[in-house]
Amino acid sequence: MEHVRCNLCGADDTVIRFPSTLPEEDGRPADPEHFMCTTLSYGEHYRIVQCRQCGLIYTNPRRRPADIMHDYEAVVDERYLADCDARTATFRRNIRPLEQMISSPNGHRLLDIGAHVGVFVDVARERGWDAWGLEPSRWAVEQGRGRNLNMIQGTLRDAELDAASFDLVTMWDVIEHLLDPLADVREIARILRPGGVFCVHSINIASPFARLMSKRWPWLVEMHNYYFTPQTLTATVEKAGLHVECWQNQGRYLHLGYLLSRLSGWYKPLGVLAERAAKLLHMDRWLVPVNFGDLFTLYARRPTD
């Protein structure tokens, strides 16, 4: 386990928000299943604290970076593939405001960080972008490459991308997983062209739903190192040298069967029963919009000066 200071202001002055539900002495044994996008390990996390100086909420202590990256690289998530068309519907909607911020996708370069199997990369490619995905999971990268997508295996700093080489960089449900989000957003500012756009989607721990659910909020899981609010994410992005233009609550589409299966994270028999009932009634593949107000998207731009 390692002790970390606040990533936003550097202070080491915190108050506990949620006590650890995992043993902290030696850390958790390697288990890539807990780093799957479709994990059901709700409520399993290390101590979550809040900085008294700037308000950033984060996990402290946490497992060593090398151990965390080992698990991300080893992730295999077959369940994710079954819900890809719901994610495609979500991304086809989410890409529209981005295309309004950039004159035309044709000839413009896009990088999706934490692209997993490349669903957003595929959506962007079909709309004319020169789209690339960056992902640590070896399995996920091979899935994307199998569909002839431009996929890079590794992390942002591993990739050593050229400065000012992308018009748009996206992070969908990724920044809360990072070990050093401020440094990574600074790297994004470096690889963006002047006037280029950074789009980041994350969980909002200050949302009414998160406050209502408290320790039962499903996003309190081991793989999340940071829990942003619109205010702390804005501060992080602007400290990295980008100008935040706006943010908005933004939900997603899910298959009804997949949504009901999430109940297993709290009580497995209920989730299994609900999912089976949906299949029996031929409702499991219904696409449903889901928005509890605890997900938001922030849009920023690299200054042209």
pLDDT of residue 257: 80
Whether 135 maps to a domain, the answer reads yes
Find, among 149, 143, 189, the residue nearest to 169 by Cα. 189
What is the domain-level CATH number for residue 213?
3.40.50.150
Whether 2 maps to a domain, the answer reads no
Residues of the domain holding 161: 14-301
pLDDT digits (tens, 9 = 90+) for 153-200: 999 989 999 999 999 999 999 999 999 999 999 999 999 999 999 999
Rounded Cα gap, residues 106 and 127, in angstroms: 8
% of the chain residues with pLDDT over 90: 76
pTM of the model: 0.93
pLDDT digits (tens, 9 = 90+) for 95-154: 999 999 987 667 799 999 999 999 999 999 999 999 999 999 999 999 999 999 999 999
Rounded Cα gap, residues 6 and 12, in angstroms: 6
Domains contained in the chain, number = 1
Whether 259 maps to a domain, the answer reads yes
Whether 215 maps to a domain, the answer reads yes
